[in-house]
């Protein structure tokens, strides 16, 4: 019996160590460290900005907001009606139910490059992590369950960073 036990230990010790290494089971970029690093990258104001200001009324216009059911991204169009290139903005979004009650509010820093007089689409991560809300103005999907809830938004630019063109 002792010989069998010693033989078993010798065989187990001779198995290569690479078989005993841990297997990575997480997806790349989905860890907490990756999320916090990505969030820190978007919060930094670009170094080439000239001025950070509260935008004048009508200088930054938001249109075409969209978020479908189960979507992980929200998209919107930002028009720069100012005289300088828009390189960064602090966007506040209020999410409202059909009765006008606030569901959620958040402020998102967005790095962008929108020349004066032009419009660009901006994509941000969705606030709805469970995928149960959809924007009322979005094109409906085939399967909208009874548990899904519509919402509307109000968008405002709290501050913007403008870069003067040196042409």
Question: The domain containing residue 159 runs over which residues?
Answer: 49-163
pLDDT tens digits for range 126-151: 999 988 899 998 877 666 666 788 99
Q: What percent of the chain has pLDDT over 90?
A: 39
Task: Count the domains in the chain.
Answer: 1
* 124 domain-assigned: yes
Domain holding 86: CATH number? 2.60.40
| Three-state helix/strand/coil letters over 118-161 | CEEEEEEECCCCCCCEEECCCCCCCCCCCCCEEEEEEEEEEEEE
Q: What is the pLDDT of residue 31?
A: 54
108 DSSP β-pair partners? 91
Q: Say if CB 72 and CB 126 are below 8 A apart.
A: yes
* Residue 26 included in any domain: no
The whole-number average pLDDT for the span 42-53 is 54
Q: What is the pLDDT of residues 75-127, one digit of tens each?
A: 999 999 988 899 999 999 999 999 999 999 999 999 999 999 999 999 999 99
Place of tokens 């409202």: 96
- Cβ atoms of 106 and 72 within 8 Å: the answer is no
Stated as kind and residue range, the H or E segment containing 14 is: helix 2-14
Confidence band of 161 (pLDDT split at 50, 70, 90): confident
pLDDT at residue 100 in the model: 94
Q: Tell me how far apart the alpha carbons of residues 33 and 36 are, in angstroms, rounded to a whole number.
A: 5
**Phi, psi of 138, rounded to the nearest 5 degrees:** -75, 155
Residue 166, pLDDT score: 59
Of the candidates 35, 46, 68, which has an alpha carbon nearest to the alpha carbon of residue 114? Answer: 46
Q: What is the pTM of this model?
A: 0.65
């Amino acid at each position: 019996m002792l010989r069998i036990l010693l033989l078993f230990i010798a065989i187990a010790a001779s198995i290569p160590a690479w078989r005993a290494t841990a297997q990575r089971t997480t997806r790349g970029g989905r860890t907490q460290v990756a999320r916090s690093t990505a969030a820190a990258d978007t919060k930094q104001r670009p170094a080439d900005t000239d001025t950070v200001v509260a935008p004048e009324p009508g200088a930054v216009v938001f249109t075409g907001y969209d978020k479908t059911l189960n979507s992980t991204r929200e998209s919107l169009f930002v028009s720069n009606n100012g005289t300088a290139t828009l390189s960064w903005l602090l966007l506040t979004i209020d999410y409202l139910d059909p009765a006008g009650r606030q569901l959620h509010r958040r402020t998102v820093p967005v790095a962008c490059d929108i020349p004066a007089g032009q419009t660009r689409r901006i994509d941000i991560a969705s606030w709805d992590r469970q995928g149960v809300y959809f924007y009322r103005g979005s094109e409906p999907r085939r399967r909208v369950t009874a548990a899904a809830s519509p919402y509307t938004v109000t968008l405002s630019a709290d501050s913007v960073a403008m870069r003067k063109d040196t042409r």
